[in-house]
């Protein structure tokens, strides 16, 4: 091979850097070598191969493809390596930084060691379509994300849309209308919330009913608001704020002496809805004495009567028992305000509320139920 060795090439003024044209034939190559005969630039009919580190102080015009690590580039710029490699964009000066495009572990990695990463688009002028802050926050429509994902819209429009290809029903949008976030479901599909593969809540598209597979738990002091319905002038609240059901153990604290109860008695159960409490209770007992001048009192009610002195808490109705009603028009149990007991009143005529019923001394049984108001 004929070799031309050049130490320096000077122009007419003695300055380095004049152009050298190397022309080969269709079958022969021409090489430029260094002082040790190592090929630095090889020119052949298929292209130019550069070996080692080369510095170009002016523009490099290439009419074809450039391959780095390969002599068979498939794209205009083709980088190839058998191990992890990267493209480095390095800035020096007063604001140094390094941006890298890496192929590591068959993953594309884009990194910036200073600030974040912009993804800009636009035909006439570039605008930031997405921004990733150096702390990991992702922003769409803003360069100042306040959360892990921050999407900013400047007008009332859809912020996000999720759909299934080929399915006109499966369309869900999230949009902002004024200051109000709105989820918009498909017109002919239910809106479901799932956990562990099970529907937790469903909004039925045919009747707009909300169907919940579990319990609806309301925080203390809160409730279901019925203010959308019309109310009377004296309305004070339209919040249903409590529901409870359970059992309790009533006792007779006065009116009888030496009381003993039958097996399984006394028993009581209750249902409380808002400020109304409904109770049912049963007694089967024997006693050694009936105090004819003392009202029978049942204590241990689950809730005290309402505390407003001018309001009537309620009364319990005498259901069944072996107390004779021959002498009385009716028997009732009055619940005083702010108390957890009920006292028996025997009504006998218009002024007979102070009458005391006469009961057997043994094997007495009573069944009582009623609703009273609580706080």
Which positions ≥6 away from 333 have C-beta within 8 Å? 298, 315, 316, 317, 318, 342, 343, 344, 345, 368, 370
Calpha distance 212→199 (Å, rounded) = 8
Domains, the chain, in order of start with CATH, read 4-80 (no CATH), 163-216 (no CATH), 243-373 (2.60.90)
Q: Could you tell me which residues come within 8 angstroms of residue 166 by beta carbon, excluding any fewer than 6 positions away?
A: none
What value does the CA radius of gyration of the chain take, rounded to a whole number of Å? 46
Query: Of 331, 314, 330, which Cα lies nearest the Cα of 370?
Result: 314
| Whether the Cβ atoms of residue 332 and residue 343 lie closer than 8 Å to each other | no
Tokens of 230: 């019309």
Considering only 117-131, 194-208, 283-297, which range has the smallest mean pLDDT? Answer: 283-297
Do residues 150 and 138 lie in contact, with contact meaning Cβ atoms separated by under 8 Å?
yes
Mean pLDDT, rounded, for 38-67: 71
Contact in structure between 372 and 304 (CB atoms under 8 Å): no
Which residue in 42, 62, 60, 44 sits closest to 52, CA to CA?
Answer: 42
Cis peptide upstream of residue 4 (ω within 30 degrees of 0): no
Task: Tell me: pLDDT of 302 over 90.
Answer: yes
Measure the CA–CA gap between 226 and 217, rounded to whole angstroms. Answer: 17
pLDDT band at 314 (very low <50, low <70, confident <90, very high): confident
Phi and psi at 15, nearest 5°, equal -90, 145
Whole-number Å distance between alpha carbons of 347 and 352: 5
pLDDT band at 186 (very low <50, low <70, confident <90, very high): low
Alpha-carbon gap, residue 98 to 203, rounded angstroms: 51
> What does each C-alpha distance from 310 to 53, 234, 313, 336, 337 come to in angstroms?
101, 16, 9, 11, 9
pLDDT digits (tens, 9 = 90+) for 351-364: 555 555 555 545 67
Residue 113: the pLDDT is 86
d(CA 287, CA 43): 124
Q: What is the pLDDT of residues 54-94, one digit of tens each?
A: 666 677 777 888 888 888 889 998 988 888 888 888 988 88
Query: In terms of residues, how long is the chain?
Result: 375
DSSP secondary structure letters along 18-40: --------SS--EEEE-TT--EE
Helix, strand or coil, per DSSP, at residue 335: strand
Termini Cα distance of the chain: 110
Please state the rounded mean pLDDT for residues 35-43: 61
Q: What is the mean pLDDT of residues 151-164?
A: 71
The DSSP code for 90 is E
Provide the mean pLDDT of the chain.
77
Using the predicted structure, report yes or no on whether residue 31 has a pLDDT greater than 90. no
Between 82-86, 95-99, 186-190, the lowest mean confidence (pLDDT) is in 186-190
- Cα–Cα distance, 249 to 131 (Å, whole number): 67
Contact indicator for 156, 177 with CB cutoff of 8 Å:
yes
Instruction: Judge whether residue 5 has pLDDT over 90.
Output: no
CA 98 – CA 111 distance, rounded (Å): 8
Q: What is the pLDDT of residue 208?
A: 86
More confident residue, 134 or 8: 134
CB 55 within 8 A of CB 43: no
Q: Taking the model in full, what pTM does it have?
A: 0.56
Average pLDDT for residues 317-329, to the nearest whole number?
Answer: 61
């Amino acid at each position: 091979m004929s070799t031309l060795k050049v130490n320096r090439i000077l122009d007419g003024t003695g300055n380095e850097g004049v152009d050298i044209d190397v022309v080969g034939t269709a079958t022969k190559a021409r090489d430029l070598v260094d002082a040790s005969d190592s090929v630095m630039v090889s020119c052949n009919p298929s292209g130019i191969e550069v070996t080692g580190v080369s510095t170009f102080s002016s523009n490099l015009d290439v009419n074809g493809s450039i391959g780095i690590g390969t002599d068979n580039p498939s794209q205009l710029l083709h980088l190839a390596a058998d191990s992890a490699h990267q493209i480095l964009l390095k800035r020096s000066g007063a604001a140094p930084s390094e941006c890298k495009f890496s192929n590591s572990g068959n993953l594309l990695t884009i990194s910036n060691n200073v600030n974040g990463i912009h993804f800009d688009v636009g035909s006439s002028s570039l605008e930031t379509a997405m921004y990733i802050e150096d702390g990991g926050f992702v922003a769409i429509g803003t360069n100042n994300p306040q959360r892990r994902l921050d999407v900013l819209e400047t007008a009332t429009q859809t912020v996000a849309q999720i759909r299934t290809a080929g399915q006109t029903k499966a369309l869900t949008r999230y949009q902002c209308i004024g200051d109000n976030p709105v989820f918009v479901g498909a017109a002919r599909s239910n809106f479901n919330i799932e956990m562990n593969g099970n529907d937790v809540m469903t909004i039925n598209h045919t009747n707009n009913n909300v169907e919940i597979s579990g319990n609806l738990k309301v925080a203390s002091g809160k409730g279901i608001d019925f203010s959308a319905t019309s109310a009377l002038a004296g309305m004070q609240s339209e919040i249903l704020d409590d529901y409870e059901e359970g059992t309790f153990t009533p006792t007779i604290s006065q009116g009888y002496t030496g009381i003993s109860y039958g097996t399984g008695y006394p028993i009581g159960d209750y249902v409380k809805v808002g400020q109304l409490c409904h109770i049912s209770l049963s007694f089967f007992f024997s006693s050694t004495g009936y105090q004819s001048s003392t009202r029978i009192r049942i204590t241990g009610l689950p809730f005290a009567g309402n505390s407003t002195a001018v309001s009537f808490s309620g009364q319990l109705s005498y259901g069944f028992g072996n107390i004779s009603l021959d002498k009385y028009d009716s028997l009732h149990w009055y619940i005083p305000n702010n108390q957890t007991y009920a006292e028996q009143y025997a009504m006998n005529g218009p002024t007979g509320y102070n009458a005391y019923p006469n009961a057997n001394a043994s094997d007495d049984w009573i069944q009582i139920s009623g609703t009273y108001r609580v706080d």
